[in-house]
Chain A
C-alpha cells in the first residue's frame, strides 16, 4: 500500500487494485454476479414461466381448475363456469385485466385476478392454452343445425355479422378474439344475453367488448340458444 496523503496527521493509505491472481479471482466474482443479475432480468421478461416457480404455478393452476373444472373443461357450479382449455392467451390475459379494472363485472374473478402477477398470468394462459379435453356437452342437439347456419352465415336480414368472420370457421379464435369451440352452452347464453350489463363498463376506457355489443343486441334469444348449442359441441 502506498502512502499518498495525510489528514489531520493520520496517514491514509490509498488502496490499490488487486493484482495478479487476486485480480483474476475478483474479476470472475464480479462477472458472475453481473451474469446472474442480467439473466434473471432476461428471464423475467422473456420466458415468463421460468420467473414463476413450478410449485407456485402448479398450485395456482389447480386452484383455477377447482372452479373451471378438470383440465379447464368448464363446470356447472351455481352458475356455469366457463371452459378455459384451449383459450387464446391474449384473450385470457385481456379478460383478467378487465376484471381487475372492473371493466368486466364479476366479483369472484376480480378477487382471483388482482392477486396474479403478470408472469403468473402469462404462465397460466400458456398452460390453459395447451389443454384439450372433450367438450362438456349437454345442449339440445336439435338446435345445432340452426346454430351452425347462424355461426357461419350470420343473420344478414337482422344485421348480425357472421361469427366465423372473426372467431374463425372452427371457432378457434385468434389473438384477442376468443375461442368458442367447446364452450358451455349455458355460459355462452348468459354472456350474450347480459353483454351490456357485464362488459365494457368503463365508458372512459372503451375496450373490445364494444365489438360484440351490437351482435348481442341483435340476436334473438332462440338464435343465441342455437349458436350456443352448436359451439358447445365443437372440438
Chain B
C-alpha cells in the first residue's frame, strides 16, 4: 500500500470509537444548549411580562385578597385604621414599599405578613394591575376653604417653613412618577397618619437608608393644620 496516496487517514478501531463518541457528545451538547437557551429565553420573557409567569387565577385571587382590606377597586377603606388607596399607584413605588415592609425598613406588622409571601413575579403583576385601576376617590367631606388652602400648599409649598411644593416631585396632578407615589384620591386620614408618624414608621434601618429620607424634613416642617389641608385637597383630586 502506498501511504502517500491515502486520502482519508486510516483510523484504528479506538480512534474511530473516539470520533463517534465526540460526534455524539457534540450533538448532545448542541441539543442541551438549545434546550437551555430556550428555557432561559422563556424565563427572561417571564420576568419582562410578569403576568405571564403568574397564573391568571392566582393573580385574581390575590387581587381580591388585597381588595378585602384596600377596598373595592383598591379605592381604600376606613377599617380600624385608614387603609390606603392602591388604585393608580406608581408600580415602582408600590414594589419599593412592599420590599420595605419585608426588610422591616417600613413598620407594619400586617403588611409584613402580606408582603413576604409574594413572589417577585406576583408582586410585578399586582403592581401593574393596581396601576391600571381608576375608581373615583373615596372622598371625605371637607370645607372648601380647607381644600383651597391645601391646594396652595401643594402647588406653592411653604417657603417660610422650608417646605418645597409637593407638585415638584409628585407632579401637578399628584399622580406621581417612578419612585414618587401618586397621592391623588388618597384617604385624608391615611395621609395625615403617615406624615405625622413618618419617623416612627419609615427608614427604620439606619444601615440601609432609603428614599423615605427625602420626606423626613418636610414632615417635620408641616403643622397639623397644614397636613390636614393638603390631605383634604389630595383626597378630592381625581
Query: How far is the CB of B211 from the nearest CB of chain A, in Å?
Result: 25
B117 within 8 A of A: yes
Contacting residues of chain A (163-210) with chain B, CB-CB under 8 angstroms: 164-169, 172-175, 177
Interface pair A159/B64, CB less than 8 Å apart: yes
Which DSSP category, helix, strand, loop or mixed, fits chain B's interface?
helix
B interface, size bucket: 10 to 19
Interface pair A177/B79, CB less than 8 Å apart: yes
Contacting residues of chain B (79-121) with chain A, CB-CB under 8 angstroms: 79-81, 83, 109-110, 113-114, 116-117
| Distance in angstroms between the alpha carbons of A211 and B77 in the assembled complex | 11
* With A153-B109, A159-B62: A165-B117 Cβ-Cβ less than 8 Å: no
* With A153-B110, A153-B113, A175-B78: A166-B64 Cβ-Cβ less than 8 Å: no
Interface pair A166/B79, CB less than 8 Å apart: yes
Residue numbers in A under 8 Å from B213 (CB-CB) = none
Interface pair A167/B80, CB less than 8 Å apart: yes
Contacting residues of chain B (8-64) with chain A, CB-CB under 8 angstroms: 61-62, 64
Interface pair A156/B114, CB less than 8 Å apart: yes
Query: How far is the CB of A184 from the nearest CB of chain B, in Å?
Result: 22
Residue numbers in A under 8 Å from B77 (CB-CB) = 166
Query: How far is the CB of B62 from the nearest CB of chain A, in Å?
Result: 6
| Distance in angstroms between the alpha carbons of A178 and B113 in the assembled complex | 24
Interface pair A162/B113, CB less than 8 Å apart: yes
| Distance in angstroms between the alpha carbons of A169 and B114 in the assembled complex | 16
Interface pair B83/A165, CB less than 8 Å apart: yes
Residue numbers in A under 8 Å from B69 (CB-CB) = 161-162, 165-166
| Distance in angstroms between the alpha carbons of A115 and B68 in the assembled complex | 34
Question: What is the interface size of chain A, counting residues whose CB is below 8 A from a CB of the partner?
Answer: 23
Residue numbers in B under 8 Å from A152 (CB-CB) = 109-110
The residue on B at minimum CB distance from A173 is B80
Query: How far is the CB of B201 from the nearest CB of chain A, in Å?
Result: 16
Query: How far is the CB of A71 from the nearest CB of chain B, in Å?
Result: 25
Query: How far is the CB of A1 from the nearest CB of chain B, in Å?
Result: 57
The residue on A at minimum CB distance from B83 is A165
> Which one of A160, A174, A215 lies within 8 Å of B80 (CB-CB)?
A174
| Distance in angstroms between the alpha carbons of A165 and B112 in the assembled complex | 13
Interface pair B113/A165, CB less than 8 Å apart: no
Interface pair B80/A156, CB less than 8 Å apart: no
The residue on A at minimum CB distance from B118 is A156
Query: How far is the CB of A199 from the nearest CB of chain B, in Å?
Result: 16
Other than the given A172-B80, A174-B78, A177-B79, 15 more pairs (CB < 8 A) read: A152-B109, A153-B110, A153-B113, A154-B114, A156-B117, A159-B62, A161-B68, A162-B114, A164-B110, A165-B69, A166-B69, A166-B80, A173-B80, A211-B68, A214-B65
Q: List 17 A-B contacts (CB under 8 A).
A: A153-B109, A154-B110, A156-B114, A159-B64, A161-B68, A162-B114, A164-B110, A165-B69, A165-B81, A166-B69, A166-B77, A167-B79, A172-B80, A211-B68, A214-B64, A214-B65, A214-B68
